[in-house]
């Protein structure tokens, strides 16, 4: 039995930086990697002089840990995680802890938590956000899984995490896959925020603004309610010049990549039947952008609107644009929290939404002042069913909505695609509508497929009408999302 506090497997960028962060906070860490050369290299370089020791094998790693032994994996999601769990388990004792800090799918984390708990091993799946810099100096950490592990890892996790308003951006999220689910929604929201900023940039281009002028506008916006990491880096990106002294941004190919967590969020939204439309549009927008060749061809063939030139008060429009971005962001976060609420209901996770907002408030890519307002809204009303109903956000949208509508109308007229800004407004209008045209939809379904409908005032009683006088009176079974 050794005296190290934690073992960490996986010496890629995130793993190395988390180890250095832990060591800086006074924890003794054992480092291990599948290719052991990386352990030697790490010890001889970045880890030199710090309270970090290396391991040559899994058994060696475990022998250097105090009990209960706690091993964190930062390896490629999927098979590598299962492979290390399989290698660790025969050497572990009841009560030992395995933490997966990779970008695992929450369903895998649910399975692993359950399988390992049957063997007496406590498993934790933790979202880790903030990239290289976050891992080194304070990430946002979203741990979930077997709660019995939390008292043993809480000190390390909360010490190394980012702090916002003096509080750690890390708390226990919930059972089994809750931590990785919340991390997935975080990444989906990140897709949405980035898409919204992209659409704003596109509209600024339609206003024929120069790079510096755009950067100045984002800089100004970053002083107020939009203050966030993504707005800040957008300003820096706009100002960046290459070694020829020319702006780099316009030279970058407009075809977006993706690693999958945005797509997972959209798939989860469809599976749970929650209208997370903005993240969906953000994922589809990346797909459309990647059809560069098709777009180049279509550009020559498909007609533009008659007016492509903005003619109005630019200053006034820019303020409208700021409001549209803010209102759309509120809708996007409201949708993300709706998704978490539904998943929590299905999986019986006891999620604390104010605490989740605080975890995202610092350290991660979507960190912002705005998340402080979300935390306050949930602190004021723990049972808040939608962020859109919090008095602060009702007021914010009411102030922004005229500008928001003007931006969408202008974008449509000029032919500038704004899928995320537009879907946010469409969602808002749908959500605030007591009446929607779904009565017609129900009638159509019953007409062609005898799917039945309910009459207003007689909810729960499904009836069928023989609309043509020709069909039978047998109704089909139906399902509801
Ligand atoms: P490596 O350095 O030996 O490739 C990020 O890729 C991290 O995940 C690295 O530490 C890498 O180890 C590890 N990794 C990737 N695939 C793996 C696998 N199939 N089994 C074990 N470790 C793996």
pLDDT tens digits for range 75-118: 999 999 999 999 999 999 999 999 999 999 999 999 999 999 99
Q: Are 144 and 121 in contact (CB under 8 A)?
A: no
Query: Measured from the CB, is residue 76 less than 6 Å from ligand 1?
Result: yes
- Catalytic residue flag (residue 208): no
Query: Measured from the CB, is residue 34 less than 6 Å from ligand 1?
Result: yes
Give the number of C-alpha atoms closer than 13 A to the C-alpha of residue 360, restricted to the C-beta side.
30
Q: What per-residue string of b and e applies to 134-153 under the rule 16 or more CB within 10 Å gives b?
A: bbbebbbbbbbbbbebbebb
Q: What pLDDT score was predicted for residue 478? A: 56
- Work out the average pLDDT over 59-79: 98
Q: Whose CA is nearest to atom 21 of ligand 1?
A: 80
Q: What pLDDT score was predicted for residue 480? A: 58
Distance 31 CA to ligand 1 centre (A): 13
Would the pLDDT of 5 be above 80?
yes
| pLDDT tens string 119-173 | 999 999 999 999 999 999 999 999 999 999 999 999 999 999 999 989 999 999 9
Distance 9 CA to ligand 1 centre (A): 9
Q: What pLDDT score was predicted for residue 260? A: 86
**Which residue among 64, 147, 190, 199 is the active-site one?**
190
Cα–Cα distance, 325 to 16 (Å, whole number): 37
Cα–Cα distance, 452 to 134 (Å, whole number): 53
Q: Whose CA is nearest to atom 18 of ligand 1?
A: 80
Alpha-helical runs (H) found in 57-105: 58-63, 79-88
Query: Measured from the CB, is residue 79 less than 6 Å from ligand 1?
Result: yes
| pLDDT tens string 306-315 | 988 899 999 9
What is the Cα 70 distance to its own chain's centre? 27
Query: Ligand 1 test: best mutation among 17, 34, 259, most atoms within 8 Å of CB?
Result: 34
Query: Ligand 1 test: best mutation among 12, 16, 41, 61, most atoms within 8 Å of CB?
Result: 12
Range of lowest pLDDT (120-124, 303-307, 316-320): 303-307
Report which DSSP code applies to 241.
Answer: B
Q: Are 52 and 32 in contact (CB under 8 A)?
A: no
Q: Are 166 and 99 in contact (CB under 8 A)?
A: no
Q: What pLDDT score was predicted for residue 474? A: 77
pLDDT band, very low/low/confident/very high, at 481 (cuts 50, 70, 90)? low
Q: Whose CA is nearest to atom 19 of ligand 1?
A: 80
Cα–Cα distance, 256 to 258 (Å, whole number): 7
Query: Ligand 1 test: best mutation among 80, 87, 101, most atoms within 8 Å of CB?
Result: 80
The pTM (predicted TM-score) of the whole model is: 0.96
Cα–Cα distance, 126 to 147 (Å, whole number): 12
Distance 6 CA to ligand 1 centre (A): 19
- Catalytic residue flag (residue 183): yes
What is the Cα 103 distance to its own chain's centre? 12
Distance 76 CA to ligand 1 centre (A): 6
Which ligand 1 atom minimizes the distance to the CA of 83? 20
Which ligand 1 atom minimizes the distance to the CA of 76? 8
Q: What pLDDT score was predicted for residue 308? A: 81
- Work out the average pLDDT over 432-445: 98
Which ligand 1 atom minimizes the distance to the CA of 9? 10
pLDDT band, very low/low/confident/very high, at 479 (cuts 50, 70, 90)? low
Which ligand 1 atom minimizes the distance to the CA of 11? 10
Distance 79 CA to ligand 1 centre (A): 10
Report which DSSP code applies to 57.
Answer: S
Query: Measured from the CB, is residue 80 less than 6 Å from ligand 1?
Result: yes
Q: Residue 68: is the preceding peptide bond cis (ω within 30°)?
A: yes
Distance 86 CA to ligand 1 centre (A): 15
Q: What per-residue string of b and e applies to 317-340 under the rule 16 or more CB within 10 Å gives b?
A: bbebbbbbbbbbbbbbbbbbbbbb
Query: Ligand 1 test: best mutation among 15, 72, 76, most atoms within 8 Å of CB?
Result: 76
Instruction: Report helix, strand or coil for 127.
Output: strand
What is the Cα 9 distance to its own chain's centre? 25
- Work out the average pLDDT over 423-452: 98
Query: Measured from the CB, is residue 12 less than 6 Å from ligand 1?
Result: yes
- Chain length of the chain: 481
Query: Ligand 1 test: best mutation among 10, 16, 54, most atoms within 8 Å of CB?
Result: 10
**Which residue among 28, 38, 183, 329 is the active-site one?**
183
Backbone angles phi, psi at 268, to 5 degrees: -60, -40
Distance 366 CA to ligand 1 centre (A): 27
Mean pLDDT, rounded, of the chain: 96
Instruction: Report helix, strand or coil for 468.
Output: coil
Distance 10 CA to ligand 1 centre (A): 6
Q: Whose CA is nearest to atom 12 of ligand 1?
A: 34
List, in order, residues 6 or more apart from 174 with CB less than 8 Å away.
144, 182, 344, 349, 350, 351
- Work out the average pLDDT over 387-413: 98
Query: Measured from the CB, is residue 10 less than 6 Å from ligand 1?
Result: yes
| pLDDT tens string 331-376 | 999 999 999 999 999 999 999 999 999 999 999 999 999 999 999 9
Q: Are 344 and 201 in contact (CB under 8 A)?
A: no
Query: Measured from the CB, is residue 38 less than 6 Å from ligand 1?
Result: yes
**Cα–Cα separations (whole angstroms), residue 474 to 445, 449, 457:** 14, 10, 23
Cα–Cα distance, 355 to 89 (Å, whole number): 32
Which ligand 1 atom minimizes the distance to the CA of 33? 10
According to DSSP, the β-strands at 167-168 and 122-129 are unpaired
Q: Whose CA is nearest to atom 13 of ligand 1?
A: 75
Can you say whether residue 475 is alpha, beta or left, with left for phi > 0 and alpha for psi between -120 and 50 degrees? Answer: beta
pLDDT band, very low/low/confident/very high, at 295 (cuts 50, 70, 90)? very high
Sequence-ordered strand ranges (E) for 321-412: none
Would the pLDDT of 237 be above 60?
yes
């Amino acid at each position: 039995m050794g005296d190290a506090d934690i073992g960490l497997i996986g010496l890629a960028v995130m793993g190395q930086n988390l180890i250095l962060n832990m060591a800086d906070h006074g924890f003794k860490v054992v480092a291990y990697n599948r290719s052991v050369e990386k352990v030697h290299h790490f010890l001889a370089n970045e880890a030199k002089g710090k309270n970090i020791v290396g391991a040559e094998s899994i058994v060696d790693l475990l022998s250097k840990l105090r009990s209960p032994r706690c091993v964190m994996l930062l390896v490629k999601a999927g098979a590598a995680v299962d492979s290390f769990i399989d290698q660790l388990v025969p050497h572990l004792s009841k009560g030992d802890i395995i933490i997966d800090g990779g970008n695992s799918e929450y369903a895998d984390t649910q399975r692993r938590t359950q399988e390992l708990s049957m063997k007496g091993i406590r498993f934790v799946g933790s979202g880790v956000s903030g990239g290289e810099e976050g891992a080194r100096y304070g990430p946002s950490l979203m741990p979930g899984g077997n709660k019995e592990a939390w008292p043993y890892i809480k000190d390390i996790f909360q010490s190394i995490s980012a702090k916002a308003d003096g509080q750690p951006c890390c708390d226990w999220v919930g059972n089994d896959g809750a931590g990785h689910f919340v991390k997935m929604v975080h990444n989906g929201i990140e897709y949405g925020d980035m898409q919204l900023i992209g659409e704003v940039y596109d509209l600024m281009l339609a206003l024929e603004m120069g790079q510096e002028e755009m950067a100045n506008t984002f800089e100004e916006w970053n002083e107020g309610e939009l203050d966030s990491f993504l707005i800040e880096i957008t300003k820096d990106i706009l100002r960046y010049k290459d070694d020829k002294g020319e702006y780099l941004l316009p030279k970058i190919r407009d075809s977006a990549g993706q690693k999958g967590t945005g797509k997972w969020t959209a798939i989860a939204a469809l599976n749970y039947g929650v209208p997370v439309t903005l993240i969906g549009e953000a994922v589809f927008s990346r797909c459309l952008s990647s059809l560069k060749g098709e777009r180049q061809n279509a550009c020559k063939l498909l007609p533009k609107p008659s007016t492509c030139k903005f003619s109005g008060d630019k200053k006034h429009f820019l303020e409208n644009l700021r409001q549209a971005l803010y209102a759309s962001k509120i809708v996007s976060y409201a949708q993300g929290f709706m998704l978490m609420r539904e998943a929590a209901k299905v999986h019986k996770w006891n999620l604390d939404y104010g605490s989740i907002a605080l975890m995202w408030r610092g350290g991660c890519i979507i960190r912002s002042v705005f998340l402080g307002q979300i935390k306050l809204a949930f602190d004021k009303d723990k049972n808040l069913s939608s962020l859109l109903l919090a008095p602060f956000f009702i007021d914010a949208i009411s102030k922004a909505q005229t500008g928001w509508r003007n931006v969408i109308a202008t974008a449509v007229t000029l032919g500038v695609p704004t899928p995320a800004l537009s879907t946010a407004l469409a969602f808002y209008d749908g959500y605030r509508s007591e009446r929607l045209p779904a009565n017609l939809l129900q009638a159509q379904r019953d007409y062609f497929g005898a799917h039945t409908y309910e009459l207003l005032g007689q909810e729960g009683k499904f009836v069928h009408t023989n609309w043509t006088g020709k069909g039978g009176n047998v109704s089909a079974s139906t399902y509801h999302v």
